[in-house]
């Protein structure tokens, strides 16, 4: 909300994007309430929700434009809050006209990155700003449950994830994972299969399965092709990359590229992929204790993104740094290693960070709540404390 209000009355289209059921519609509704509290007349705050079944007021761009023009006509500058606009073909032309010709303040939400930034860039080059929305952080999860600092709260966050619908009701794991699987299925059907006309859903599901099993590990499209071949399935590498890109566009996964710290360049191969919420892993595969280490890494990755960092996997000679997190074009940097617990017989996490010869902050984040220390300037911090720090 703070980010949204920062751009209030700035002549840009504000794009609020993120995975389905992450709270975008609720944010728009809260924004409408905030605008009215600030004294903006109710008739100048126009909220519209465009869903697949949707409101009957618009089924195409022409009727969408006519309806909004009629609602805003003669009222001066209005605040247009347009939810899930990608459901209306040609919506980007409508938004362009309403901004250019009428100067309205426009907020839009959507659940597909290509349909938002990609198509808007054609009509509104340089005149839009993206505000990412993620499922609940641990701090927000605590606020939803009115608790903070309890060990079982972190355990519950790890087990249930951050989708708001799960955090507002008391569910056992089986019921929660059924809801999460339903969220995933709706994304696949509405945002991927229908849009891209996937004929072989079984093959697509096998690619998803590979990504889940390799969350937090580097791999390439060729790795996926070899995996499918081992299962008696053949698929060309271009189709595999299409599947991965469609999952990215629907905010199911995020790509984390590798960064060569020595050459100071982003590498084009062997990326890692993380889920928009770690509960998707459980929703598809059930809760498994062996996944916890990867889940903790996923949680840290998303938290760094929430805090405004661009996040990479670091490469320094033959060593890997879990995360190189950059802000302000590399002027604000943080190096992070993540582990389930600090191994008593190995200093790998520390030695990898020691090999970086600059003065940016370095930390190891661990699930072990008693591992709090500072070694040669490298901070050892429990996951819960990291997640709750401002």
Tell me the per-residue pLDDT of 163-178, one tens digit each, with 9 for 90 and over.
999 988 888 999 999 9
- In this prediction, residue 269 has a pLDDT band, given cuts at 50, 70 and 90, of confident
* CA–CA separation, 224 and 227 (whole Å): 5
Per-residue pLDDT, averaged over 212-223, amounts to 93
Q: What does pLDDT average to over the chain? A: 90
Specify the pLDDT at position 281: 97
- In this prediction, residue 27 has a pLDDT band, given cuts at 50, 70 and 90, of very high
Would you state the structure tokens that stand for residue 25, as one six-digit string?
A: 């519609």
* CA–CA separation, 356 and 359 (whole Å): 9
Specify the pLDDT at position 169: 81
In whole angstroms, how far apart are CA 104 and each of 27, 39, 58, 108? 19, 17, 19, 12
Specify the pLDDT at position 58: 64
- Which residues are within 8 A (CB) of 345 and not within 5 positions of it... i.e. 6 or more apart? none
Specify the pLDDT at position 127: 86
Specify the pLDDT at position 370: 72
- Given a contact cutoff of 8 angstroms between Cβ atoms, the answer to whether 314 and 333 are in contact is no
| More confident of the two residues 216 and 149 | 216
Residue 52 has pLDDT above 60, yes or no: no
Would you state the structure tokens that stand for residue 111, as one six-digit string?
A: 């659940």
Specify the pLDDT at position 57: 58
Tell me the per-residue pLDDT of 87-124, one tens digit each, with 9 for 90 and over.
888 888 899 899 988 899 999 998 888 766 666 667 77
- In this prediction, residue 33 has a pLDDT band, given cuts at 50, 70 and 90, of very high
In whole angstroms, how far apart are CA 221 and each of 3, 125, 188, 252, 322? 36, 32, 20, 17, 21
Of 54-58, 107-111, 148-152, which range is least confident? 54-58
Is-above-0.75 flag for pTM?
Answer: yes
């Amino acid at each position: 909300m703070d980010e949204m209000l920062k751009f209030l009355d700035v002549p840009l289209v504000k794009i609020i994007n993120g995975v389905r059921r992450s709270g975008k519609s609720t944010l728009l509704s809260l924004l409408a309430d905030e605008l009215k509290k600030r004294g903006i007349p109710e008739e100048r705050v126009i909220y519209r929700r465009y869903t697949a079944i949707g409101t009957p007021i618009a089924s195409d761009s022409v009727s969408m434009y006519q309806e909004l023009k009629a609602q805003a006509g003669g009222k001066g500058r209005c605040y247009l809050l347009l939810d899930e606009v990608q459901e209306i073909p040609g919506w980007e032309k409508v938004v362009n006209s309403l901004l250019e010709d009428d100067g309205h303040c426009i907020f839009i939400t959507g659940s597909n990155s290509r349909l938002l930034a990609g198509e808007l860039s054609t009509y509104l080059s340089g005149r839009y700003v993206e505000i990412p929305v993620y499922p609940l952080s641990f701090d927000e999860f605590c606020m939803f449950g009115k608790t903070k600092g309890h060990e079982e709260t972190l355990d519950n966050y790890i087990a249930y994830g951050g989708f708001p619908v799960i955090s507002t009701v008391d569910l056992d794991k089986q019921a929660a994972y059924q809801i999460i699987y339903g969220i995933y299925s709706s994304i696949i059907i509405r945002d991927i299969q229908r849009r891209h006309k996937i004929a072989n859903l079984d093959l697509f599901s096998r690619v998803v399965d590979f990504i889940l099993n390799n969350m937090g590990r580097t791999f390439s499209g060729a790795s996926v092709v070899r995996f499918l071949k081992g299962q008696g399935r053949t698929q060309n590498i271009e189709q595999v990359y299409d599947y991965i890109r469609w999952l990215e566009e629907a905010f199911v996964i995020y790509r984390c590229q590798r960064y060569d710290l020595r050459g100071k360049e982003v590498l084009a191969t062997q990326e890692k992929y993380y889920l928009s919420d770690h509960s998707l892993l459980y929703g598809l595969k059930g809760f498994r204790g062996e996944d916890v280490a990867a889940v903790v890494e996923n949680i840290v990755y998303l938290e760094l993104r929430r805090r405004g960092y661009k996040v990479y996997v670091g490469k320094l000679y033959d060593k890997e740094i879990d995360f190189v997190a950059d802000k302000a074009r590399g002027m604000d940097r943080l190096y992070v290693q993540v582990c389930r617990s600090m191994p008593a017989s190995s200093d790998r996490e520390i030695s990898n960070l020691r090999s970086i010869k600059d003065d940016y902050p370095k930390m190891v984040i661990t699930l072990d709540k008693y591992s709090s220390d500072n070694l040669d300037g490298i901070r050892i911090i429990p996951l819960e404390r990291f997640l709750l720090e401002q």
